[in-house]
Each structure stands twice: as C-alpha cells, then as structure tokens.
C-alpha cells in the first residue's frame, strides 16, 4: 500500500484491514507510534498551523478520513482506495485488543462519555481490557498529571478524543514520555459510541 501527499500532508492508501495490520505490527515492534485520521479539515488546519503540520508529517500512519480527501486525491491523479475513519479504527482496535489481550485507555470527551463508550465496547467484546477512562483536558498544564494516570494503567492502545488539532498535538507532545505502543486521535468517536 502506497503513500500519497495532499498539500504537503502524507496520506496512506490503506484499507481498513491494512490499517489494522499496520496497527498490529506497531503493537508488536517494541516502539511507540501515532496514527492520525486525516480529513479535509485536518489538511486546511495544517496549512495555517505549522506544529500540527509537523505532527501529521511525522505520524506513523495517516488514514484517509472523509469523502473530500478521496475527491482531492482522485482530482490530483493519485486516487485512494477508500476511507478509514476513527470510529472504524476504534472498533477494529477493540477487536484486535480483545483477541490478543492488549490493554486500552480512553482519554478525552466530556465527563462520563468515555465510560459510556467503554460500556458499549465491553458489551460487544466481553474480554476487552479497558484499563482507564479519563475526560481530562488537552491543555498542556495537565500533561504531567495525565501522563501519570496513563502510565500507571500501562495501556498498549491509547485513544484520545480532544478533537483535532489538540488530540494530535497532545499525543505528539506526550508520547516521548508515556511511550504507549499505539496512540490515535479519534475525534467524536466516544460521543458516537455512547450514542
Ligand atoms: N473535547 C474534549 N476536550 C476539549 C475539547 C474537545 O474532551 O477541550 C472532546 C469533545 O467532547 C468531543 C471531541 O473532543 O468528544 C471532539 O469531537 P469532534 O467530532 O469535534 O472532533 P474533530 O472532528 O474536531 O476532530
């Protein structure tokens, strides 16, 4: 599977199954990784926000999220095969985690929402090991406190729902300390799952 560029932002031409294969290899290679789900709003934000642009350019995997990304890719002659959204990746990662015993942590969204999303995920995969839910805050002054909470829970997979660009910046800023094998910004996914 190849990688294209739209306005300087790399996007991987992965299907959902391929994205999950990449995620699985990230979980097994001993390193720490970041996945971004790139929609048109990400690409526009990256044009005016150099820090966000740098994070997208350094991420290990950028999935095409949103029909507009597919349209732009086809328009410039580098078509992509399909979309891979935050909701799809969250469900796929939950399946992977339940199958292989990986621990999952849910950071972000309004108080109680991550817990409600966890209830939904556990009802679908009863063996799923969700080791923490924390609404928290994307402001840097809370980084240290949130790092402690996450490091004590020792997750393999960290889902961060602070909306873009804050969730991607939070992950890039904190991963050198927490070194979670796989961290991914998931936007409104917890709200969606909690219904
Ligand atoms: N959020 C949060 N703290 C904040 C700002 C946002 O927890 O300071 C959460 C919000 O409750 C929601 C998610 O971040 O669950 C943003 O979802 P949205 O669909 O807007 O994400 P985007 O499409 O902007 O990435």
For residue 11, what are the contacts with CB-CB under 8 A and spacing of at least 6? 3, 4, 5, 38, 62, 63, 64, 69, 73, 80
C-alpha 6/C-alpha 111 separation (Å) is: 36
Whole-number pLDDT of residue 141: 98
Whole-number pLDDT of residue 184: 98
Label residue 20 by pLDDT band (50, 70, 90). very high
CA of 109 to the centre of ligand 1 (A): 6
Q: Select the CATH number that applies to the domain covering 20-38+49-61+86-194 from these four: 3.40.50, 3.30.420, 1.10.150, 1.10.3470.
A: 3.40.50
Whole-number pLDDT of residue 113: 98
Mean pLDDT across 54-66:
98
C-alpha 191/C-alpha 195 separation (Å) is: 6
| pTM for this prediction | 0.98
pLDDT at 1 over 80: no
Domain positions in the chain: 20-38+49-61+86-194
Task: Report whether 36 contacts 56 (CB < 8 A).
Answer: yes
Whole-number pLDDT of residue 101: 98
For residue 12, what are the contacts with CB-CB under 8 A and spacing of at least 6? 1, 2, 3, 19, 22, 61, 62, 63, 64
Say yes or no: ipTM exceeds 0.90: yes
162, two tokens:
């602070």
Percent of the chain residues past pLDDT 90, beyond the cut: 99
Which residue from 86, 160, 163 has its CB within 8 A of the most atoms of ligand 1, so it is best to mutate? 163
By alpha-carbon position, which residue is closest to atom 5 of ligand 1?
Answer: 162
Label residue 70 by pLDDT band (50, 70, 90). very high
Per residue in 103-143, pLDDT (tens digit) is 999 999 999 999 999 999 999 999 999 999 999 999 999 99
Whole-number pLDDT of residue 8: 97
Per residue in 137-167, pLDDT (tens digit) is 999 999 999 999 999 999 999 999 999 999 9
- Decide whether any atom of ligand 1 lies within 6 Å of the 56 Cβ: no
């Amino acid at each position: 599977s190849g990688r294209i560029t739209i306005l300087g932002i790399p996007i991987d031409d992965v299907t959902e199954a391929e994205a999950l294969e990449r995620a699985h290899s990230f979980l097994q290679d001993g390193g720490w990784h970041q996945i971004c789900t790139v929609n048109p709003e990400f690409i526009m934000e990256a044009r005016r926000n150099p820090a966000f642009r740098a994070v997208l350019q350094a991420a290990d995997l950028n999935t095409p999220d949103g029909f507009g990304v597919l349209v732009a890719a086809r328009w410039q002659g580098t078509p992509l095969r399909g979309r891979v959204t935050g909701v799809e990746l969250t469900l796929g990662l939950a399946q992977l985690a339940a199958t292989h015993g990986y621990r999952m942590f849910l950071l972000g969204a309004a108080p109680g929402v991550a817990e409600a999303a966890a209830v939904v995920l556990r009802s679908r995969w009863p063996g799923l090991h969700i080791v923490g839910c924390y609404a928290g805050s994307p402001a840097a002054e809370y980084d240290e406190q949130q790092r402690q909470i996450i490091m004590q829970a020792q997750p393999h997979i960290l889902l961060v729902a602070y909306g873009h660009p804050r969730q991607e910046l939070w992950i890039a800023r904190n991963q050198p300390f927490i070194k979670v094998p796989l961290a991914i910004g998931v936007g409104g996914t917890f709200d969606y799952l909690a219904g």
